Amino acid sequence: MKSQLLKVLVAAMLPVFLFLFAGNVTLNAQIYEPEGLNMPGAWNGWSNPPTNPVLANPNQFMDGQLIKISTGQTRWQTIFSSNAASGNLLPGNYNWLFTSGPSTNYYANKWAGVNVVMNTLQNYTFNTGADNNITLADGKWYTMNWEDLGYQNSRAIFMETSAEPIQITSVSVPANPIENTPSVVYITTNDAPSPEEIIYLRYTTDGWATSEVLIVTVSGSTWQASIPGQASGTVVDYYVFTSTVASLSADYDLCTIKLNNNSGTNYSFTVGTPPDPEITWANLQWPASGAITTGSEFLVY
């Protein structure tokens, strides 16, 4: 009787366990990080995990350069060159896949169905669709960002530049920001950007509930952006990033090539009030001297 009762209880509870297990899989917001993301294809003989570092994650291939970035929108990024003589990949037209899976089946999960259009966020279907296709030009660099939404349809972008993407080496903080007066931020880079690279400054005055972006411009040999004047007491947070996508108004993280966000804390300043006016130069006309009682008026020219 006890054995039969146990079987009944197990049978009754099994659908609950199955439901909970299925629910955990469905609600997973990111792919399983130890399995990471790979990009096998005709460009590496469909070897998976790839032994070409730019196509492999570091969890499954020690030198993998397809890395996870958790700042902002979680994404996986790789940067590679296409060059007939010395590139990471040879120029040409290739079929390929995004994949993620264990050592027993590296192709367990795939994202497919896209003919790549450069500098455009595109939708990849999960576990269905034909192989992706891409054309790599000779002498170009490519930055790929893949949006990590877990095991479901996702988006990715390939951004093409004429040279290796620049690094943003320093970002200044305004020393004495004054209310209702623009604050200038100065930026330096390790090299001149490619013609396709746009340097943006993104800022917020409400803790990133909303934000605005400014295009960084060059003045002489210095890059700078002017944050509009704000009311006294306003806290302005900001960082600088590069992209090839013009007129950005959303998906900033997915369209970022390189950024400088002060090691993850962002740059910040608080707007102050103007200092009291002071006489910096004067020519005393008259009187040469005088005496007054406290609080009374005394005219000096």
Provide the pLDDT for residue 33: 97
pLDDT band at residue 293 under the 50/70/90 scheme: confident
pLDDT over threshold 50, residue 16: no
**Backbone dihedral angles phi then psi of residue 280, each to the nearest 5 degrees:** -95, -20
Any long-range contacts for 124-131 (C-beta under 8 Å, 24+ apart)? Answer: 124/98, 124/153, 124/154, 124/155, 124/156, 125/153, 126/151, 126/152, 126/153, 126/154, 131/41, 131/95, 131/96, 131/97
Provide the pLDDT for residue 30: 97
Whether the Cβ atoms of residue 145 and residue 178 lie closer than 8 Å to each other = no
pLDDT digits (tens, 9 = 90+) for 22-51: 333 334 589 999 999 999 999 999 999 999
For residue 258, give both structure tokens: 């390189």
